[in-house]
Amino acid sequence: MVKENIRGIFLVADATRLPFKDCSFDTVSCSEVIEHIPGYEKALKEMGRVLKPGGKAGLTTPNRHGVNGMVEGLKTLMHRTINRVATLDSFDPYDKWKTRGELKLALREGGLEVKEEMGINFIPDFLKSSSLWEIMVKIVEPVEDKIKRKLPGLGNTIAVLAEKGPLENADKAPTLNVLPKENLTFLLFRKLKEALSGKGIGKIPGVLPLYWFIYTKLKPDGVILMEVQGSKMYVDYRDEGLAPYLFSTGVYGRQDTELFKEQIRPGMVVVDVGANIGYYALIAAKLVGNEGKVYAFEPVSNNYDLLVANIKVNGYTNIIPIPKAVSNKCGKALLFINKVNLTTPSLSQDNVTGHISTDIMSAGLSTPSLSRDEVETITLDKFFEGAVGVEKVDFLKMDVEGYEGLVIEGAEKILKGNNLKVLMEFWPYGLKNAGTDSLKLLHRLQDYGFKMKLMGNSSTGYVEIRKIIEICGSKPDGHVNLFLEK
């Protein structure tokens, strides 16, 4: 195959697992290939992966809706209808021929947007051996340049030029309004808090409200870089859902954090749905090591920017951030956000206003300020269907403010097909607002083979569904965290 004066490398490889690093090439071409690849969507995602941002991908493939596809499909139908009495050559169109719509969708899911497209060859192949061929060529050739772009869907071959946009997982960290350091007064307050921590002073009546009052008056108005659970973390002190906990104890949910650390092992694939700014994702990245992967889904733009910045500042290459909401279908949805508590975004507005009565909020922090953003949604089954090199999922953590039911609905293959463990919030009030029957959800998980433990329960054994429902009730503040294993 190697010819003189050609510089390059010729190799044989799996198109769905290209042996190249991310963002390696300016251009990728693929001519009359993808129709022969089972699971061609993976190949297109690989093309997108190895392209640099702004890189171009050119490809051609037979068009199932083109002239040939229509003619040969009609011939096949006629064969079946008249039991092959006719003398037409039998033909069964290759079942992997693509339509323009299918191709565009698959390219888009691979991070590639079609910039140009055209049809090629508008004459049916069966005329090649007939005297009509030359006549058709004379008729079509003069107008082909005009119709190939105006009527690309009729071409026997689809030709597209696609471009890779900016990296979803951000090749560089976003620009943040990072404060150079804490103000002196707040620094002294933090040191005093650390010195008195564990002394039981918070149990004295009036001390806790006074503590949070002082905190709200002195806290920085911006992003601070701090050490959290062994990783560097940019934390926005204006977010009253997370920052106060990290400031006060350095932990966001002590028992959940301890269990999470106990369960994660080197080489695992961890999925973090509702990753926020990366608290659990950063912990997982350290524990799974270079052989493992962490997929962190976070649709809130402010949180996502901090998540990416936290990945970059630690130099972690095993976290893949995805700026999408996980649900039971792919598309778009409205996400409701409490701008002063970015740990509680939800696809249900009632769940944002119904899940803010924490100890911290009741101690005097800001009242909710709601906004809404349109976000992309995806299912876990769909995402991992095309994830290259992922053969299993070992651990799923999700906290999506009542939308856990829809996440589970869109993850049936993942949950059934893996011996994984799950850490999730169970909130019947929020689940109901999202259209999920909480009792049926628990029975579904049980049918998948999961046994359930209550986080925070003094007993270390499994609990019955009836007990979980009984503890939570249907009040807005009735929720528990569950640990599931098979």
Residue 415 has pLDDT above 90, yes or no: yes
Residues 147 and 239 in one domain: no
- What was the pLDDT predicted at 251? 87
Residues 137 and 269 in one domain: no
- What was the pLDDT predicted at 116? 84
CATH of the domain at 48: 3.40.50.150
Note whether 441 and 403 are within 8 A (CB).
no
DSSP E strands, 63-133: 112-120
- What was the pLDDT predicted at 176? 67
Residues 348 and 453 in one domain: yes
Does residue 212 lie within any of the structural domains?
A: no
Residues 248 and 394 in one domain: yes
Residues 45 and 133 in one domain: yes
CA 346 to chain centre: 16
- What was the pLDDT predicted at 66? 65
What are 48-91's pLDDT values in tens digits? 888 877 788 888 888 766 666 665 555 554 444 444 333 333 33
Domain boundary among 116, 145, 164: 164
- What was the pLDDT predicted at 436? 93
User: Residues 148-158: what's their mean pLDDT?
Assistant: 72
Residue type, position 279, single letter: Y
Residue 155 has pLDDT above 90, yes or no: no
CA atoms within 13 A on the CB side of 475: 8
- What was the pLDDT predicted at 456? 73
C-alpha span between 257 and 40 (Å, rounded): 39
Cβ burial 462-481 (10 Å sphere, 16+ → b, else e)? ebeeeebbeebeeebeebbb
- What was the pLDDT predicted at 92? 39
Two structure tokens written together for 403: 């939308």
Two structure tokens written together for 373: 């953003």
Does residue 304 lie within any of the structural domains?
A: yes
**For a pLDDT cut of 70, what percent of the chain falls above it?**
73
Does residue 169 lie within any of the structural domains?
A: no
Neighbours of 249 (CB within 10 A): 13
Residues 258 and 349 in one domain: yes
Does residue 368 lie within any of the structural domains?
A: yes
Between 35 and 175, residue with greater pLDDT: 35
Mean predicted lDDT score pLDDT of the chain: 78
- What was the pLDDT predicted at 74? 54
Does residue 478 lie within any of the structural domains?
A: yes
DSSP E strands, 313-369: 319-322, 325-326, 331-338, 341-346
Burial degree of 301 (CB within 10 A; 0-12, 13-18, 19+): middle
Does residue 20 lie within any of the structural domains?
A: no
Which residue stretches of 178-329 are H helix?
184-196, 207-218, 243-248, 254-263, 279-288, 301-314
Residues 151 and 224 in one domain: no
**For a pLDDT cut of 90, what percent of the chain falls above it?**
31
Domain boundary among 139, 164, 189: 164
C-alpha span between 296 and 301 (Å, rounded): 13
Residues 236 and 152 in one domain: no
Two structure tokens written together for 367: 């009242």
Does residue 2 lie within any of the structural domains?
A: no
Question: Which strand (E) or helix (H) includes residue 270?
Answer: strand 269-273
Residues 120 and 265 in one domain: no
- What was the pLDDT predicted at 113? 83
Q: Among 57, 272, 274, 32, which residue's Cα sits nearest to residue 156? A: 32
In total, how many domains does the chain have? 2
User: Residues 158-174: what's their mean pLDDT?
Assistant: 66
Residues 442 and 344 in one domain: yes
Note whether 243 and 366 are within 8 A (CB).
no
Highest mean pLDDT among 185-199, 216-230, 337-351: 216-230
CA 384 to chain centre: 9
Q: Which residue has the tokens 């009509």?
A: 132
Between 461 and 433, residue with greater pLDDT: 433
Q: Which domain holds residue 324?
A: 220-485
- What was the pLDDT predicted at 468? 93
Domain boundary among 144, 164, 184: 164
User: Residues 443-450: what's their mean pLDDT?
Assistant: 96
Read off the pTM.
Answer: 0.63
What are 266-287's pLDDT values in tens digits? 999 999 999 999 999 999 999 9
Question: Which strand (E) or helix (H) includes residue 142?
Answer: helix 132-150
Does residue 209 lie within any of the structural domains?
A: no
Residues 67 and 148 in one domain: yes
- What was the pLDDT predicted at 230? 92
